[in-house]
Structure 1
Amino acid sequence: MSAQTSHSVNKPGGNYLPVIVHNGIAYVSGQLPRRGDELLCIGKVGADVDIALAQKAAAFCADLCLDAIAHTLGGDDKIAQVLKVVGYIASAPGFTQQSQVMNGASDRLVARLGERGQHTRTSVGVAELPRGAPIELEMVVAIHP
């Protein structure tokens, strides 16, 4: 799984928008590690998916969030600051390293945006995610006027 920054946006899986901008803040809907209808990995972290693959999936989801913002706003340069990232990790029973998984997303954001990619973060272990995905990532971003 490699990072793709093509500024293409996955079609939503339901009746919602990938990004809404309101009062200088972009709210990005949860992104699964997928291109089109194909998930790049499936399963629970700590059982079917190891931490290294889950970190790659988290980084890919971060790229998808940035791609959705860039598509909506016309480029990454419109991002003033990533404010908050929330990661939901489908976790096997007893798995407690959700924060370690989320380091994949955090590292990618800083690598792509520098200081503008630094953010607050929440990592949540969940029983299931849509389509059997191991991770879903959502983001809140301040944008330049």
Structure 2
Amino acid sequence: MSAVEDRLAELGLAVPEVAKPVAAYVPAVRSGNHIFTSGQLPMQAGELMVTGKVGGEVSEEEALACAQQCALNAIAAVKSEIGDLDQVKRIVKVVAFIASTPDFTGQPRVANGASELFGKVFGDAGVHARSAVGVPVLPLDAPVEVEVIVEV
């Protein structure tokens, strides 16, 4: 097991199986020294954790947990490309899409579910640039989707 996976285990987490794509794409692509993940939904064991809009039927706390699961799924996609997560030099960029009601403005707090996990498991290499974007709807009515660019 890698040091990254050891840190995940200390948090009571593990790298999940790579989430199966819901359309015509692959979970991650390597180009040179970078891995680009596809948008990762909050899938656990092949099912969405919750559905709906943040600020509506999905609470901010549930959405934060969804963002963390999206980050775990992104880590799994990266591992599927490189094998050993200790090869990650830097989490470069995180983009979080939050399906939310028009009056919800806490997208950055929701995205922290992903950002904080990357910081905990990758340390200084997990500090990244980020966008947190509110959108009207996501695939399968997911509340959160996260994509990541990683340097290896």
Does the alignment pair 1:91 with 2:100? yes
Query: Identity, % of aligned pairs?
Result: 37
Q: Distance in 2 between matches of 1:106 and 1:120?
A: 9
For 1:105-116, what aligned pairs fall within 5 Å after superposition? 105-116=114-125
Specify which of 136, 144, 148 is matched with residue 127 of structure 1.
136
Per mean C-alpha deviation after superposition, the further-off stretch among 120-129 and 29-38 is 29-38
Q: Which residues of structure 1 form unaligned runs of 5+?
A: none
Q: Which amino acid aligns with 1:72?
A: E
- 1:8-48 CA-partner distances (Å, limit 9, x unpaired): 20111111111100111100000000135310111100111
Distance 1:37 1:24 in 2: 30
Q: Structure 2 length normalisation: TM-score?
A: 0.89
Cα RMSD (Å) of the superposition? 1.4
Q: Which one-letter code corresponds to 1:68 in the other structure? A: A
Instruction: List 4+ stretches of structure 1 deviating above 4 A.
Output: none
Aligned residue number for residue 53 of structure 2: 44
CA contact 2:15–2:72 (8 Å) conserved in 1 = no
CA distance in 2, matches of 1:64, 1:43: 20
Relative to its length, the structure with more strand (as a share) is 1
CA distance in 1, matches of 2:117, 2:69: 8
Q: TM-score when scaled to structure 1?
A: 0.93
Equivalent residues, number: 142
For residue 28 of structure 1, the aligned residue among 37, 52, 55 is 37
Q: Which amino acid aligns with 1:33?
A: P
